C-alpha cells in the first residue's frame, strides 16, 4: 500500500510537472542555411554525379486521366481540379475509384534504373493535397482508397534493393486542406475560419512521417510556393525543419521564395534551398561551379497522366536533353505519369528503354562529369572530367560530319589520345587521328555516325583544357 502510494505520488508529481516542461522554451532549431561551399558540394555530390533522375507524378488525378464528366481538361492532368473548378466534395469521388492493382514498385524502379536514372522523385502529395502514403495526420490519403497499400513504402523497399535514391515531391500549396490560404472559391470543404499556421503544422506533421518512416531520402522537392501566404521566413523554417530530421537531405529552391518563374533559378541573393529548378526548359548556358540546378521536363505535355496526350518527345530528344543539361553542369529530371491502374504508359517505357540502351554505352560521358569548357560547339555538346592525371573531354556529336573531319575550334591543349566511346564487337575502341592547328583541332572520323542519337568521342588531354 505504502509502495502504491509512493508510486501514485510520483505519478502525480510528474503530472503536475508536465505543464512546467511544456512551458520550457523549445530548443532553437538548428540553422542549416550557412554551410560553406565545400560542405554543400559534399552533401550534393551523389546527386550532381547522378545527372539523371525520374520524376513521377501520380495521384487521384491519374484516375481522372484528364477527363471530368466526359470533358477533357485543357491543362496538365494534375491541375484538373483547379482548371475545371471541381469542388472538393466532387473530386473526392475519385477516392473509391483509385485502386492501382497493377502497381509494382520493383518494376518501376527497374524501369528507371535500366534507363540510367539514379534517383526517383515521386509525388508524396500534389496540389490536390491527397497523400500517396498512409498518413496518420489525415484521411485524405491512400488509406481511404480500396488500394490500402502504401506505395511509398513499397517504393522505398524497392529503391533500397535496387540502389536507387528515393526522393519525395511535396506540394506546399494545398487545394483541399480546410486551413490552407488563399482559399480556393470551389473548396466547399474549407473552414469558415481558416488558420494558415494550422495548415503549416499539419504539413510539417506529414513531412515528419515521410522523413522518419521511409528510410533515408535523397531529396525533398517542394513546389507550389508561389502564393502570398508562403514567405521567405516560412521557407527558411521549413528548410531547417527538413534538414533537422535528415541532415544530409537535399532540398530544392521551391522551399523558399527566390525562384524566378519557370527559369527556375533564384532571382536574388536569398539562398534557401540547395538548387535551382528550371521547368520545361534547359538554361542557355550553365552558371559555373557552386550553382546547382536540375531541369525537370515532361515526356509528352503533361505531368500527371492524361489519356489523350500523345505528344511524345522522341528518344533522340530525350538523350540530347540529358547531354545538354550535363554539358552545362546540370541534372535532368524526366517525368513519367503512371495511370490510375498503376502502370507507366507504354510509350514512356519504350523511350526509357532507348535512352537506357544509349546510356549503357555512353554513361561514362554523363555520370560524374563537369560542364563543357567550350562556350559553343556547332555540332553538339561536350562534358568533361578532370583528375590529378589530366582531363577527359567527351565530345557528344549530334551532327556527324559528312566529310570525315570533325573540327573542335578553340582547343589549345595537347591531345594524348582520341577514340570512339562505343566499342566494336570485340570490345575495341577505334582510335582516331587528330591534327592540331594553331587555334583548333581536327579529328578524322569514320564516314557513318556510330550512334543515331549522339556519338561520343573521347579526348584525353594533359592538364586542364585550354579552350574558348
Residues making contact with ligand GLC (CB under 6 A): 57, 76, 78-79, 223, 279, 296, 303
Class of residue 140 by CB neighbours under 10 A (exposed 0-12, middle 13-18, buried 19+): buried
Determine contact, residues 160/217, Cβ cutoff 8 Å: no
Distance between CA atoms of 22 and 71, rounded to whole angstroms? 54
Compare residues 51 and 57 and give the one whose CB is closer to ligand GLC: 57
Q: How far is the CB of 19 from ligand GLC (least distance, A)?
A: 44
Compare residues 198 and 263 and give the one whose CB is closer to ligand GLC: 263
Compare residues 78 and 88 and give the one whose CB is closer to ligand GLC: 78
Q: How far is the CB of 225 from ligand GLC (least distance, A)?
A: 9
Determine contact, residues 347/67, Cβ cutoff 8 Å: no
Compare residues 305 and 453 and give the one whose CB is closer to ligand GLC: 305
Q: How far is the CB of 284 from ligand GLC (least distance, A)?
A: 19
N-to-C CA span, the chain: 89
Compare residues 304 and 356 and give the one whose CB is closer to ligand GLC: 304
459 pairs with which residues across the strands?
393, 418
Find where cell 550553365 sits.
Answer: 286
Q: How far is the CB of 51 from ligand GLC (least distance, A)?
A: 18
Compare residues 78 and 236 and give the one whose CB is closer to ligand GLC: 78
Distance between CA atoms of 414 and 420, rounded to whole angstroms? 18
How far CA 397 is from CA of 306, 314, 323, 357, 404, in Å, comes to 35, 17, 10, 17, 13
How far CA 337 is from CA of 135, 253, 255, 266, 346, in Å, comes to 23, 23, 23, 28, 11
3-state secondary structure of 388: coil
Q: How far is the CB of 356 from ligand GLC (least distance, A)?
A: 23
Q: How far is the CB of 453 from ligand GLC (least distance, A)?
A: 25
Cell of 110: 527497374
Q: How far is the CB of 203 from ligand GLC (least distance, A)?
A: 16
Q: How far is the CB of 57 from ligand GLC (least distance, A)?
A: 6
Compare residues 292 and 303 and give the one whose CB is closer to ligand GLC: 303
How many residues are listed for the chain in this entry?
A: 468
E strand or H helix at 68: strand 67-68
Determine contact, residues 122/142, Cβ cutoff 8 Å: no
Which candidate, 466, 364, 458, places its Cα nearest to that of 406? Answer: 458
E strand or H helix at 389: none
Compare residues 236 and 294 and give the one whose CB is closer to ligand GLC: 294
The runs of H, that is alpha helices, within 187-298 are 196-213, 232-245
Amino acid at each position: 500500500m505504502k509502495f502504491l502510494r509512493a508510486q501514485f505520488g510520483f505519478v502525480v508529481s510528474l503530472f503536475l510537472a508536465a505543464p512546467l516542461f511544456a512551458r520550457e522554451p523549445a530548443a532553437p532549431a538548428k540553422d542549416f542555411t550557412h554551410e560553406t561551399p565545400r560542405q554543400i558540394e559534399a552533401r550534393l555530390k551523389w546527386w550532381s554525379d547522378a545527372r539523371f533522375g525520374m520524376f513521377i507524378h501520380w495521384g487521384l488525378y491519374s484516375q481522372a486521366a484528364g477527363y471530368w464528366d466526359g470533358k477533357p481538361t485543357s491543362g496538365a492532368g494534375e491541375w484538373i481540379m483547379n482548371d475545371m473548378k471541381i469542388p472538393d466534395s466532387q473530386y473526392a469521388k475519385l477516392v473509391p475509384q483509385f485502386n492501382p492493382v497493377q502497381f509494382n514498385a520493383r518494376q518501376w524502379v527497374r524501369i528507371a534504373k535500366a534507363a540510367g536514372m539514379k534517383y526517383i522523385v515521386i509525388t508524396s502529395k500534389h496540389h490536390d493535397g491527397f497523400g500517396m502514403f498512409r498518413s496518420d495526420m489525415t484521411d485524405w490519403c491512400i488509406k481511404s482508397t480500396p488500394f490500402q497499400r502504401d506505395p511509398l513504402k513499397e517504393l522505398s523497399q524497392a529503391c533500397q534493393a535496387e540502389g536507387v535514391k528515393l526522393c519525395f515531391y511535396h506540394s506546399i500549396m494545398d487545394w483541399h486542406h480546410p486551413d490552407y490560404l488563399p482559399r480556393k472559391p470551389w473548396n466547399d470543404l474549407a473552414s469558415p475560419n481558416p488558420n494558415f499556421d494550422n495548415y503549416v503544422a499539419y504539413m510539417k506533421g506529414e513531412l515528419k512521417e515521410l522523413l522518419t518512416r521511409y528510410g533515408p531520402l535523397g531529396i525533398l522537392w517542394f513546389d507550389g510556393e508561389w502564393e502570398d501566404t508562403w514567405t521567405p521566413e516560412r521557407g527558411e523554417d521549413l528548410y531547417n525543419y527538413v534538414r533537422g530530421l535528415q541532415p544530409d537531405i537535399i532540398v530544392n529552391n521551391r522551399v523558399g521564395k527566390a525562384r524566378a518563374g519557370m527559369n527556375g533559378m533564384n532571382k536574388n541573393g536569398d539562398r534557401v534551398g540547395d538548387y535551382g529548378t528550371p521547368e520545361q526548359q534547359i538554361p542557355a548556358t550553365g552558371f559555373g561551379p557552386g550553382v546547382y540546378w536540375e531541369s525537370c521536363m515532361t515526356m509528352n505535355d503533361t505531368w500527371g497522366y492524361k489519356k489523350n496526350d500523345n505528344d511524345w518527345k522522341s528518344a533522340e530528344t530525350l538523350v540530347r536533353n540529358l547531354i545538354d543539361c550535363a554539358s552545362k553542369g546540370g541534372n535532368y529530371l524526366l517525368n513519367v505519369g503512371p495511370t490510375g491502374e498503376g502502370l507507366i504508359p507504354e510509350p514512356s517505357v519504350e523511350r526509357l528503354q532507348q535512352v537506357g540502351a544509349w546510356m549503357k554505352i555512353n554513361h561514362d560521358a554523363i555520370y560524374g562529369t563537369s560542364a563543357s569548357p567550350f562556350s559553343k560547339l556547332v555540332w553538339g555538346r561536350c562534358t568533361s572530367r578532370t583528375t590529378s592525371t589530366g582531363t577527359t573531354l567527351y565530345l557528344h556529336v549530334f551532327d556527324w560530319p559528312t566529310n570525315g573531319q570533325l573540327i573542335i575550334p578553340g582547343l589549345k591543349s595537347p591531345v594524348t589520345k582520341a577514340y570512339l566511346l562505343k566499342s566494336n564487337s570485340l570490345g575495341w575502341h577505334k582510335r582516331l587521328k587528330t591534327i592540331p592547328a594553331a587555334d583548333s583541332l581536327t579529328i578524322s572520323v569514320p564516314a557513318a555516325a556510330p550512334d543515331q542519337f549522339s556519338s561520343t568521342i573521347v579526348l584525353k588531354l594533359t592538364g586542364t583544357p585550354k579552350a574558348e
